[in-house]
Amino acid sequence: MKMIKTSEKIEISDYPYSFTLKCTLFDSMEFNPKKGYRRVTQTINPKTGRLNAPKSSTYNRLMVRYYNEDGHIKTRSFSFNGVEEINRACKFISENIELFENNELQYFYSELRMFAIVNLKAMVMYAGSKFEDLKPLFDPFIELCKKGLSDGCNYFNDLQLDYEAIENTKDVNYKAFG
């Protein structure tokens, strides 16, 4: 699977247009630091030679494009909801750091920090975990995100939450809604 940089705009010739015509397709990613990523495609009308209106997907916290085995462009999205998803996203960013621009990496640090705090609070509210038990498990992650925000260095390889330790803080008798 060949990954595509988020800033790269791709031009595809001979793209199908209706049943019999072919056109040119432009495929790109749009990044908004308040919303995340979305894929944008735009075709040239083969009858008029003019650009059609762009078509945009919905925003995701993290979305990347890649070429599948057939040479088609596909997308992969990541959520930051839950400890496992946060760890999966951090690992992906670390392994594919060259796909992203510096402002995107800053965005990831900010979002990951916020979602770590949200997950910490959710564990207290909905799993009966004690804040005092969770704080030492989340603090190194949150501090490393803050450090990445301030100095711009790559710490994504070290950004991992201890899923088992966090899960072990749950109160098995706790009933959030009952």
Rounded CA separation 153/151 (Å):
6
Terminal-residue alpha carbon distance, the chain: 47
- List, for the chain, all residue ranges whose pLDDT scores fall below the cut of 50: none
Confidence (pLDDT) at 177: 87
Q: What 3 state SS string does 68-131 have?
A: CCCCCEEEEEECCCCHHHHHHHHHHHHHCHHHCCHHHHHHHHHHHHHHHHHHHHHHHHHHCCCH
Sign of the torsion angle spanned by Cα atoms 146, 147, 153, 156: negative
Confidence (pLDDT) at 1: 81
**pLDDT tens per residue, range 99-122:** 999 999 999 999 999 999 999 999
Confidence (pLDDT) at 176: 85
Confidence (pLDDT) at 46: 94
Q: Give, in order, the Cα–Cα distances in Å from 70 to each of 13, 65, 66, 74.
A: 16, 14, 11, 10
Count of residues in the chain = 178
Which H helix or E strand runs over 159?
none
User: Which amino acid does the sequence have at 70?
Assistant: D
User: Which amino acid does the sequence have at 104?
Assistant: E
